A and B are shown apart, each in its own frame.
Chain A
C-alpha cells in the first residue's frame, strides 16, 4: 500500500519552462489536493479536486493548472515557470467528509532559476 506517490522529488527549471508534477493515490479517496509550502508560511492550497472530474481553485492558483485524470491521479502543471514558484509542493488525498485524515506525498522541491 503506497499511499500517495508524488513525482519528481526534485526539479530545477529555467524561467519560462513548463513541467507537470504527478500524483497518484491508491486509497480510493475522492478528494485530492495540491499545496505549496514556503518558508515561514503554512501550507497553502493551490487547487483541489473533490471528486473525479471536478477541480476548484484554492488560495494561490495563479500560474498553475490541474487535471484530475481519474480517481487515482491528480496532476499539477506549470505552463511557464517563474522564480516565484520556487517552493516545495505537496500532493494530498483524503476522505475528510468521512472523518478520515489526510495523507501526503513526499513532496517535490522545485527551484526556478
Chain B
C-alpha cells in the first residue's frame, strides 16, 4: 500500500465546476504539500500546510491531521487549471502521491 494515496486518479470537469481532489496518507507528517504539474512538465508548489485550511485565489487546501487526510478544492474551475495535482508529505524528505490528472473543458 502506498504511503500517500490520491483520488481520483483522473478527473474531467466543465468550466465553472467545483473540483475536489483527495489525499490520504499513512505516515506521520509535519507538513503536507500540494503541487501542480502542467503538461510542459514544470512542478510548482501550491500549498504547504500542517493544520487547518489555506486559500490562494480559487484554490483551497484543507488538512485533517487526526484523519490523515487532505483535500484540494478548486472553485469556478477554468481550462487553464488543467494539470496534474500532486500531494506530498514529509518533513526533510517528501513522499509523493501518484497525482490526479485534471482536465477542465470549456
**Chain A interfacial positions (CB closer than 8 Å to B):** 31, 33, 35, 40-45, 48, 50, 58, 88, 90, 92, 96-97, 99-104, 106-107, 109
Take A42-B86, A96-B92 as given contacts and tell me if A101 and B97 are in contact as well, using a CB distance cutoff of 8 Å.
Answer: no
Q: A42 touching B45 by the CB < 8 A rule?
A: no
Chain A nearest CB from B88 CB (Å) reads 8
Q: Report B-chain residues with C-beta under 8 Å of the C-beta of A96.
A: 30-31, 48, 90-92, 94
> A42-B97, A100-B48, A102-B33 in contact; A31/B92 too (CB < 8 A)?
yes
**Inter-chain contact A40/B98, CB cutoff 8 Å:** yes
Chain A contacts of B2 at CB under 8 A? 42
Within 8 A of A (CB), among B64-106: 86, 88, 90-99
Chain A residue at minimum C-beta to C-beta distance from B87: A42
**B97 surroundings in chain A (CB, below 8 A):** 42
Task: Return chain A residues, CB-CB under 8 Å to B86.
Answer: 42-43
Partner of A102, one of B4, B94, B98, B99: B94
A106 pairs with B33, CB closer than 8 A: no
Summed over the interface, the residue pairs from A and B with CB atoms below 8 Å come to a total of 63
Q: Taking the nearest CB of chain B, how far is it from the CB of A19, in angstroms?
A: 19
Contact status B48-A107, CB under 8 Å: no
Bound-state CA distance A109–B42 (Å) is 12
Distance in angstroms between the alpha carbons of A35 and B95 in the assembled complex: 11
Task: Flag whether B52 is at the interface (Cβ < 8 A).
Answer: no
User: With A42-B4, A42-B99, A99-B31 known to touch, is A104 a contact of B94 (CB < 8 Å)?
Assistant: no
Taking the closest CB of chain B, its distance from the CB of A6, in whole angstroms, is: 10
Pick the residue among A40, A99, A104 that contacts B43 (CB under 8 A).
A104
Give the residues from 5 to 34 in chain B that come closer than 8 angstroms, CB to CB, to chain A: 30-31, 33
Complex: A101 Cα to B90 Cα, angstroms: 11
Question: A33 CA to B48 CA in the complex, in Å?
Answer: 17
* A107 vs B39: C-alpha distance when bound (angstroms): 12
